[in-house]
Amino acid sequence: MKNILIIGATSGIAIACARLWSSQPCRLFLIGRDPSKLAQVGADLASRGAVVAGHYALDLVDMEQHSAAIGAAQEAFGVPDLVLIAHGTLPDQQACEADAARSVREFTANGLSVISLLTLLAKPMTDRGQGTIVVLSSVAGDRGRPSNYLYGSAKAAVSAFCEGMQARLFRSGVHVLLVKPGFVATPMTAGLGLPPALTSSPERVARDIQRAIEKKTNVLYTAWFWRYIMLIIRHIPTGVFKKLKL
């Protein structure tokens, strides 16, 4: 039975992944901010056949509590076989431009907190010599754009950190999968008017993640066409890029 730790367990993509994994024998430990939502998600997953070994509620911006949360998961089922880090926020870019403290908090939520968790998880998993860590970043980290560069810069930090960690942990038998979703229809993006042709469901993203785990993919763009959209965006000359409304 596979032991799975899900951080940000009440997010739309995390729930879709957990439901997919629940079709096979597994034990889940859920970490998230809202205890009532964690309980609801846990009950749903248990009804689908998963063993919910426990859950731990905390605001992941509070990095001093990360060690205790991961310790609780290890007490429940030992070192996890699979970790999904899926928490995050979608900041109001204009509000962040006007408030330095808010900018730092949002960067911490989307960037620094992920780096903290990865650092804490790496040692026990490398000591054991096996396992998979799945980290949700974003296509927004591929190039800073005026509409969301606070969010994008945090995700760029996560992506760069994961690329380095992939190379370091590869020798120990631990695989790091970096996931870069494009538009996904989740509660976090509700009301944004996303273009349907470019928008994926959480369930599609979850299926893509599962296939990428099986293939030991290093970087997953989901949906697949975002790799080419971002390739174009990255290669727009700076003089032109600054004039675009992206």
Tens-digit pLDDT profile for residues 73-89: 999 999 999 999 999 99
What count of Cα atoms within 13 Å lies in the side-chain half-sphere of residue 148? 17
| In a domain? residue 206 | yes
Average pLDDT of 168-179? 96
- Could you read off the pLDDT of 174-191 as tens digits, one per residue? 999 999 999 998 887 877
Confidence of residue 1 (pLDDT cuts 50, 70, 90): confident
- Residue 182 CA, distance from chain mean position: 13
DSSP 110: I
Query: In CATH, what number is assigned to the domain containing residue 76?
Result: 3.40.50.720
Are 159 and 178 a contacting pair, CB within 8 Å? yes
| In a domain? residue 64 | yes
The number of residues in the chain equals 246
Average pLDDT of 21-46? 96
**Structural domain range at position 180:** 2-241
Residue 60 to residue 69: CA distance in whole angstroms? 10
Residue 166 to residue 176: CA distance in whole angstroms? 5
Closest CA to 212 of 173, 165, 180, 170: 180
| In a domain? residue 7 | yes
For the cut 90, the answer to whether the pLDDT of residue 246 exceeds it is no
- Residue 148 CA, distance from chain mean position: 18
The reported pTM is: 0.95
Number of independent structural domains in the chain: 1
| In a domain? residue 246 | no
